[in-house]
Every structure is written in structure tokens, then in C-alpha cells.
Structure 1
Amino acid sequence: MSDATFIADHARAAAQSAPDETGWIYEGREWTWAQAWDSIRRTAGALSGEGIGHGDHIAVVDKNNPAILQLVLGASLVGAATAIVNWRLAGDELDYTINDAGAKVLFVGHELLDQVDVIRDRLTTVERIIVMGGDADEFEAWQAAGEPLEQADGSAVDDTVVLMYSSGTTGRPKGVMLTQRNLVAHTESADTGIAYGEGAKMLIAMPMFHVGGTSYAMFGLKNRVPGHIIRDVEPGALAGAMMSGVTHAFLVPAVVAMLLQAGPDAMKLFSGLRGFSYGAAPMPLTILRGAQEHWPDTAFYQVYGLTEFCGVVTMLHDDEHRDLEHPERLLSAGKPIPGVEARVVDPATLQDAAPGEAGELWFRTEQATAGYHGRPEATAELYAEDGWVRTGDIGRIDADGYVYVEDRIKDMIITGGENVYSPEVERVLSEHPDLLEVAIIGVPDPTWGESVKAVVALRPGAEATEAEIIAWAREHLAHYKVPRSIDIVELLPRNPSGKILKRDLRKPYWTEAARQV
């Protein structure tokens, strides 16, 4: 454990202990730890020059690059928070998120500038837009002109550092507030038991608008392990990173499924991994077994968590993946990591369930979010008494302490590691002129874990087809939220109080599945 108080302390310590060692690698360019720390301090100074200070918010819309980490850590030095916005969002989702964050300065990747230009006049709080990368780059000169700053006086461990937007249970995204305390606790504990060793190099591939990207990148700073950052998860970038000597990676199961489908050569490219972590969605056993067969010398780590915890709260270690006496543990999410308490609660009685009995999974940890930005009611619903956080996941804990995630209370689908809340998609599809009622469910998908399915009833006389409804949805939703298939029915099943019975809609598709999520 380090003695970090603030999340930028890890970057400072890396620069002090290993100034000339490589810190970040990105598209042919390298930063030493000393250069990385200087870039963070100058970002803080440049933000201060824009009038950004304690309690202010900025936002960034870009694909992965070190500038996002520089902004997050630089803003944290002056007491400000960075909203890392999902660049895949459709226009009306994008402006809602930026406005909800209350961002004063918006940083935009040059490839995404056209998307932002369309909504520029709807950004009510943004005072300046700064372009990053490409021929129109403004960021590097802006950053270089910044006066290097240290951690601001008056900084507190409960200052919000990051806003991560998750899809909303009520149809609009919610900003999850992650504080200095939260991120330091996660960085200190969530990679416990993972050995890096001499010559280690991390692949930072998952999108930084997720904790699987940004929180994972923080482990490199703590452990002085260089991070090879790729802009997007695409074959060429993955291959280049692996050929450069990457030893550790975190990926979602969907990426592994695609590698297996690509054949032995693709899998061989990753066979030099010393450690492979996976999560954000269950790994089908056939895919896991295939990966273990192709990567016999790789240590495997499964993780489970939520954005509300900065990421990981449980881990299944490599030796547990190989325990022939307990093969059932491969269906578990492992045990709580250090600093995390877990319990199973009957959602009706709020009493603890007996060992092995199912209920809602609750966790208590310093990693737990301060709440949802501007949503006191949603924050109150998230927290139970004494700091326990309701996950909305149904699961059980066996007599040996292993956590099994089996279903969801929350109406959420995880497809390729992306969270999709059904009400959000239903809100959009319900505006289609030919649809009378809509239910969104998740169904098994061999590549993505789950895929989004719509079950709809048409208005009298309407003749909309599956293809037409999907095409319409693509115009209004990020692509990963668009239903991949649509069932058109006469009526949706309802209980006596009129609530749509989604469990009945899901049941035929999950009959053969080992897990319900």
C-alpha cells in the first residue's frame, strides 16, 4: 500500500522514484513518468488560467488518449471534476450529458468535432471548446502555456474528481460522482494479488468513459507500470500493442469471443500475456475455456463491480480458475477485494439472507460513490443504512465467501461491457408513431454476452416492420443501445396491476443459460 491521499499522488510518486522510466505510450510517442507528471501539473495550471477551480466541472469527449488522464489528474489538483463523456452517444444524448455535468470547458477530439458542432448552440454551460489532436489541435499549446501547479490548498478527500455517466433507470443518464477517497481506495486495492514483475507493460484499451478504462489506467501509476494506450478497441491497434510487448490487459468477454472467432493466429498474438483480467459482463465458459487453452501460461482474473464503486469489488484469482475440486467457482465472481464488505439482503424484508440463499447484493467500501450528480432522490435510493450500497443485482454468497451474481432487480442489460437500461431505450422507442407499447429485454448473445431485444405491439392499423423500427432507433440512440432484434406481438403480458411481465418475456431465451445475466 502507498501513502496516497489524493489520486494525483501516485503520478507524483512515480515521477520522483522513476523519473526517466516510460510511463505512457501512445501512437508512437512516449512520456516518461517525469514528463507525465509535468503534463498533469501544466494541465492544472492551464485549467486555472481558464478560471477553473474548486468545485468546477469540465468535460471531455474523445477516444482514448493520455490527454484524458492529464485532464482528470490535472483537474483534481485544482479541486475540479472531469466528466468523461461517452463519445458514442447520439446528439440529444450528448448535449444532455454535457449540460447535466455543468461543464465550463469542453475538450473535444478532432474526429468528434462535427458531432459537437451540431449541438454547440444547445450547450448552456460551456464557455470554451478546446480541440484535441489532428490538424486543428489546440490542446498541446494550451497545456504547454500552463503554469505547473501542485495540489491546491484546501483540497479534500471528498472532492469529486470524475463524473462517469451511466444509462439512466428513468430514461436519462446519471452522473456518478467519484471522489478522491473513492479513486484512491480503488487504486490501492482492486489489483491486489496481480503480479506485474520486471518488464511489465499494461494495455489500456477499454474506453476511458468507463471505469474499466480510466480506473484501470490508475494501476499503472501506482505500480510504475507503463501503459500502452490505444485509441479504440480495433484489431490493428490491439495487434500493435501486443507486438510491442504488453504483458497485462483488461478486456471485456466480447473482445475475447471475437479473438477466438478470428482463429488461432489472433489468439497466439495474446499468448504472451502474463495476466489477463476480464469483467463488465459474464464470460461464457466455452469462451473462458478457449482462452485458457490458447493462453496456458497466462494468469486469469475475473472481476465484478459497478461504476458506483469506481470498478472492482470482487475478484476471482488465477488459482481459483484452476481449482479442479471446485469447478463451480468459475460461475462465481470471486470474493470481495480488501476493504470491501458484502452481504445478501432479502429485498422485501431487508433482512440478511442465509448463506447460499439469493437476495440483493449490498456492498460497503470507501470506493462507493458520493452519489449521483444533481439527483438526491436517486442517491437516497442507492444507499441503505450504515453506508451499504444497493447494487440492484440478485445473487448469493456461499459458505466459503464466493459471490454469485444471478439476476438483476435493475432493468439493465450488459452488452459487450456497455450498460443499457431498458427504460432509456423504451423512452425513445415509445416515440415511434407506429408503436403502441414497448418492452426492452436482454437476451443471450454468444459474442456480446447479452443483446438488446424489443418486444413491441403496434398501434391499430400500423404496419411497421422490424427493419424499419431498428432503422428508426439508430437515428435516436447510440448504436450499442439499438435493439438487434424485435418481436412484434399483439399484446404484452402484464400482471394484475398492469406491470409488464419482463421475466416472462425473457424466460424462453434464457432457459438453456447457466446464468440469468
Structure 2
Amino acid sequence: MEGNLASDLADRADAHGWRDRPLFYAGDATISHGEAHAAAARAAGVLRAAGVRRGDRVLLALPDSVPLVAALFGTLRLGAVAVLTGPEQGEKEHAYVLADAEPRVVVCGPELAVRFPSARVLTGEDLADEPASVPPPVPVGPGAPAYVQYTSGTTGKPKGVVHRHGDAEAYFLAMGVGALAMDPSDVVFSLAKACYPYGLGATVLFPMFCGAAAVLWAAQPSVEGAAEQARRHRPTLLFTVPTWYARLVAAPEREAGVRHAFGSLRAAASAGEPLLPTLADRIEQVLGCPVLDGLGSTEVGHTFVSNTVGRRRRGALGVPLDPYEISVRNEAGPGRTARPGEPGVLYVRGPSVMTEYLGKPGQTAEVLTADGWLRTGDLVHVDDDGFVHHHGRVLDQVTVSGRRVSPLEVERILGQHPGLVEVAVVPDATEAGVLHAYAVAMTGADEMALLAEVLDLARTRLPEHKVPATVNFLAELPRTSTGKIRRSALRPTVG
């Protein structure tokens, strides 16, 4: 890419003859690549008339829709910086982002306007107005700031991650090309929304880079709604998190309908949380396509380690994707590189690693080294074939009987029971050294019998200090907006 991402993608569509190809399927409407870029140009004119200039920040709180895409690329055309937040977020979350990002303009639905009293507010409909003039794209370098997305806040307040105009091409080449071998014939369906990193890449950026199409679905996901969208638009690639895969395949009585709805898939990508092998087996059984587990982060922009359509291993996160490099470090010593097979903390370096946490130089320095290595906080090991295996998050480790335990290790054993859809293990809120498991059972399961079987499995397969004191069944596990388990929401309920 030469510079401004918005104009570069428009030029790319022209050069490859994609302007008349479908880009988005939104309900009954089909929006072409050319129409989307034209909408972005008009939006740039409206934003400029509202006072937006190069370097200003524009807060976007819109559902997956043409107005969101127009607002995003209209902002980038002006050399301004888009700040993305979920429209479904609560009032406190929006107030936090407003204060942290200090946007010049907010673009949101009319029902949210009251939440942003300190900024000029435009609606998505405003951006569709014909502006007095359409400004030419502002020339910026690929290293100029382009957009900000917020972390999920599992370890404190959310932090605004700053990405550049050139970052998207790097993670498209990694995931879109390297892992999925995307081409113009693909139709992408992401249950992760475009205001979040996984969805932004899958729904918006990847199809624009390769002339493909995507399902643009404004509604919050449901199993029935997702199946209807899939039946209607026949996606070839599915992106979502383990929790949504679990919901899709949890009910045996819906299996035939889900398989028919998603029968056009050639691959399904998973990230956000570890994918238990038993769930992966169930997904492939129901969907009839390979499921590719991977690891990404807001700080990198998208997936940087993944199984691929040509190389995959059950139970592993996959392999590092070009152009990223990883380092596994034993932090007990002064930056010692972990030996093959030895768990350590994962570091990643590559062209899309963030520039900073917005306005937080101290926290940036805690995770980003001077030579560009990002400390992810994940515990992993790399096997002899180069596959990366996950051991959980450093901050999720707990001390039991004087020994460090990764909840993921226990979750993987419990998750081997076919009656469980997903499981999370947390320490007791008050009693040190005691673990509790929270699980979602398959639809129709006898929970009393399942409880006995799961505890028996734990006692058979785990040392005594790792066996949970209780197994508690929930309708669903609490999640952050990006699909991560909110373990802190479970801890206060135990003890």
C-alpha cells in the first residue's frame, strides 16, 4: 500500500475491475465495491463540512451497515482517525470512550446521540447526504494513524489501540491469504461485529483487499438469525468465537438445519478464546468443513498465529503467519528464550503491531519493547513442527496447594466430556487453593448425571489439587464484547 488506506483500496478495486462486483449482502440489498467507495467519498464531504480535518478523531458507534463502512473510509479519506466502539455498549462504556478519545465528531444512530453531549453528532443517514463537494483523499503515509479500537478490558479499563493505514494489508496477507487463501469468489460471514478487530478484518477489509464479498448483518447475532443469513447468502468462510460455535452446534435437534444452512462453507475460522478439541470435532461434524483455530489480538489488529487450509493440527493454535515472527520467553530469567516444548510468554513482532495505547505511554511501554516486540500475555509452547500450543493467559494462572495452575489445563480435561458445550474454571473468591468450574451443558442433558460424570472425569484425569470443588451449570458463560470469558464475573459468585 502506498498511503491512504481508503484511496488505496478504491484504486485497487479500479485496477482489478472489481467496482461492479458485490461487496456486501445486506438483507435484500447488494452493494458493489464501487458503490461502497462512492459512499465513503460522499461521507468524507459531509464530515469535512462538519469540521473534520487531518488528525482529528471521529468516533463511530454504528451497527454493521453501509453507513459504518462509509463513515470509516470517509474518515480515513480525510486523514482523520476513526475510533470504533460497539453501538450495543452501555452508557458508561460510551462515556469512557468519549472522554478517552476526545473526538471532533461522533457518528451514531439517533437513539445514541444523547450519550455524546460534548461532541458534534452526525447520524449514518447524514453521511448519505450529497455534500457540497467531495474532497480528494488526503495523502498520508502508511505509518500515519488510521483507526483506534479498544481492548476488551479484562485486565482493567479498556485501552485505545492505535493502528496505521498500512496495518490492514499486513494482517490481510497473514490471515486472508496465508491462512485462508481468499479470492474474489469468497463470501465472508462474521458473527464478530466490524467495530471489533476480528469483525473489521473479516467483514470489511479482507473482502476489499481481494474483491470478495461479505454478509453485512446489523442485528446482534442469534443462532436462528445466523442460520437464516447463511441460507440466504451462502457464505464460504465463517468467522466467529468459540462461544458462538458452541451455540451453533449445541442442540442436536437443530443439527440438520444448521448443517444445511452452512453447507456452502469451505472453512471456519475461530479466535478470541481457546477452542477445545472436543468442540472443534463437533463443529466439523455439524458444519462439514475444517475449523481453523488461531490467536490474534487488538494490539496486532487480527490473527497472527493460525491453523491454515493447508496445514492444521487439532489442539494447536496453528503456526505463525507471515509476515509475523514470534518469540517464546521464559520470564523467570532475564529474557531467556524458551526451549522447544517449554512453555513461556508469547511475544510477537510484525508490521501491524500497534503504535501505542492512546494517551497511555506508561502502559504502552509495559507491553511494547523498543525493538518492536509486543508482549501478549499468553502462555504457549512451540512443538517440534512449529505449531503453537496455548496454556492460557499469564494473569489467569492461580496458586493451588503452593503450585501454579493454568485454568485452561483443567478446562481442557473437563471439556472432553461430550455433554459439555463450554467450561470455565476460576479460583474461589475467598478460599485460597479451591477451584470451581462453570459449564454450559448440551441442550437436554441431565445435569445431575452430568455433574457426577464430569467430576469423575476430573478425578480420573487430574491430580487432586486441580480437581474443581464444584461444577456449576449456567445457560451461558459471561463474555466481553470481543468474546473473551469474563472470569471476574464468575469469581464473586463462588465461595
Common fold, TM-score beyond 0.5?
A: yes
Q: TM-score, normalised by structure 2?
A: 0.77
Task: Decide whether the 8 Å contact of 2:190 with 2:215 is kept in 1.
Answer: yes
Task: Decide whether the 8 Å contact of 2:188 with 2:207 is kept in 1.
Answer: yes
Distance in 2, Cα, partners of 1:120 & 1:385: 37
Does 2:325 align with 1:341? yes
Give 1:120 deviation, angstroms: 3.9
Task: Decide whether the 8 Å contact of 2:343 with 2:379 is kept in 1.
Answer: yes
Task: Decide whether the 8 Å contact of 2:274 with 2:390 is kept in 1.
Answer: no
Write out per-residue CA displacement over residues 87-125 of structure 1, whole angstroms, 9 at most, x where no aligned residue: 333322220112201111111124x52xx52x444xx4x
Distance in 1, Cα, partners of 2:103 & 2:309: 42
The residue number in structure 2 matching 1:398 is 383
1:271 maps to amino acid: G
The equivalences for 1:294-443 within 5 A come to 294-296=286-288, 298-321=289-312, 329-349=313-333, 350-410=335-395
Write out per-residue CA displacement over residues 66-97 of structure 1, whole angstroms, 9 at most, x where no aligned residue: 22222222211111111111333332222011
The equivalences for 1:107-186 within 5 A come to 107-110=107-110, 112-113=111-112, 116-117=113-114, 119-121=115-117, 124=118, 126=119, 128-132=120-124, 137-141=125-129, 144-145=130-131, 147-153=133-139, 155-168=140-153, 171-186=156-171
Give 1:44 deviation, angstroms: 1.7
Task: Decide whether the 8 Å contact of 1:177 with 1:370 is kept in 2.
Answer: yes
The equivalences for 1:168-317 within 5 A come to 168=153, 171-191=156-176, 192-196=178-182, 199-216=185-202, 217-231=204-218, 232-243=220-231, 244-262=233-251, 263-264=254-255, 265-296=257-288, 298-317=289-308
- Which runs of 5 or more residues in structure 1 are unaligned? 322-328, 414-440, 458-473, 490-517
Task: Decide whether the 8 Å contact of 2:328 with 2:344 is kept in 1.
Answer: yes
SS in 2 for 1:173: coil
2:181 maps to amino acid: A
SS in 1 for 2:269: strand
Give 1:411 deviation, angstroms: 5.1
Identical-residue share of aligned pairs (%): 21
The equivalences for 1:438-457 within 5 A come to 444=411, 446-447=420-421, 450=424, 455=429
Give 1:237 deviation, angstroms: 3.4
CA distance 1:70–1:198, shift in 2 (3 Å): closer
Give 1:50 deviation, angstroms: 1.5
Write out per-residue CA displacement over residues 204-237 of structure 1, whole angstroms, 9 at most, x where no aligned residue: 4311221111122211001101111111322343
- Which runs of 5 or more residues in structure 2 are unaligned? 399-406, 432-477
Give 1:171 deviation, angstroms: 3.0
Give 1:195 deviation, angstroms: 3.5
Task: Decide whether the 8 Å contact of 2:190 with 2:240 is kept in 1.
Answer: no
Write out per-residue CA displacement over residues 323-356 of structure 1, whole angstroms, 9 at most, x where no aligned residue: xxxxxx3221111111111111112321111111
Q: TM-score, normalised by structure 1?
A: 0.74
Give 1:170 deviation, angstroms: 6.2
SS in 2 for 1:386: coil
SS in 1 for 2:336: coil
SS in 1 for 2:55: coil
The residue number in structure 2 matching 1:11 is 10
The residue number in structure 2 matching 1:28 is 28
The residue number in structure 2 matching 1:513 is none
SS in 2 for 1:24: strand
1:25 maps to amino acid: Y
SS in 1 for 2:19: coil
The residue number in structure 1 matching 2:445 is none
Write out per-residue CA displacement over residues 390-427 of structure 1, whole angstroms, 9 at most, x where no aligned residue: 111111112221111212124599xxxxxxxxxxxxxx
Task: Decide whether the 8 Å contact of 1:85 with 1:98 is kept in 2.
Answer: no
Distance in 1, Cα, partners of 2:338 & 2:179: 29
Write out per-residue CA displacement over residues 414-454 of structure 1, whole angstroms, 9 at most, x where no aligned residue: xxxxxxxxxxxxxxxxxxxxxxxxxxx99958546648888
CA distance 1:151–1:285, shift in 2 (3 Å): same
Distance in 1, Cα, partners of 2:13 & 2:224: 30
SS in 1 for 2:342: coil
Give 1:313 deviation, angstroms: 0.7
Distance in 2, Cα, partners of 1:15 & 1:451: 51
